[in-house]
Amino acid sequence: MRFRLLRRRLTVSAPRVSVRSALPWPFLWVLGALLLGFSAAVAVWAFEFGKDIAGLDRNAQEELQQLRREVQMLRTDLSEAQSVANTSDSLLIAERSAQEQLTMQLRQLQADNEMLRSDLGFFERLIPGSGGDSLSIRGLQAERLSPSQLKWQVLMMQPGKNAPDFKGALEVTFVGTLEGKPWSAQSAPAPQPVVIKGYLRMEGIVDVPEQAVVENVTAKILQGSSVRSMQSFNL
């Protein structure tokens, strides 16, 4: 009987047996979580302790401070460079303005030089007067500026250092032909009053017909109804 029971237990036909833990499963989960947390804390402590031993934190702080100082230096250099650039722009603008002013002054000087050259040429072409020390016309010029305009210039001189002022009038006459017929015109409707103190230069522009051919220009210095000096110029 005992043998049969023993054989039944040892064979396949023996009854099934289940093994259960004595601890409940929530307690096992809590215990596992505590073990995992403890392991993580130990790992973090070991990592931090290793960094402290190797000096990684100290080097990182020093490098961070060095980088901050370098960034501050770069910002200072950038600010100085911007200030220099702004100053350079201001100087460049001022230089351009000064250059433009110099260019305008140079053009004005060139114009004045041309005028002086014209005056010099006018004086160089003076014709000696025939009246000795008396009042005379020493220069007469005329040129056509356009088909309808004629420019004239007259230089009147009164020799002598202490000669009294001369008061009279100037008459400029133009003579030529217009459409094959004689033609004449004057610089003004009436003789122009003049006061000569040593010398006097006068000039003007007169309108002439485009078809007119001006052949001669005559200048007269009048005193009352008498002619004190006269000179002609052929074009």
Query: Per the structure block, which two tokens stand in for 40?
Result: 């993580």
Which residue in the block uniquely carries the two structure tokens 């100290």? 58
3-class secondary structure, 2: helix
| Total domains present in the chain | 2
Largest CA distance in the chain: 189
Q: Which domain holds residue 107?
A: 52-124
Residues 161 and 201 in one domain: yes
8 A C-beta contact, residue 195 and residue 214: no
| C-beta separation of 202 from 152 below 8 A | no
In a domain, 28, yes or no: no
Q: Where does a domain end: 95, 124, 153?
A: 124
75 with 150, same domain?
A: no
Residues 109 and 156 in one domain: no
**CATH code of 158's domain:** 2.60.40.10
DSSP for residue 160: S
Per-residue pLDDT 10s for the chain (235 aa) are 555 655 555 555 555 555 555 556 666 666 677 777 667 666 666 666 565 655 555 566 777 788 888 888 888 888 888 887 788 777 788 888 888 888 888 888 888 887 777 766 666 555 444 444 578 888 888 888 888 898 999 988 887 667 788 899 999 999 999 888 998 988 888 899 999 888 888 899 999 898 888 999 999 999 888 888 888 888 8
Token look-up 């006097």 returns 200
Quick one: 148 and 203 in the same domain? yes
pTM attached to this predicted model: 0.45
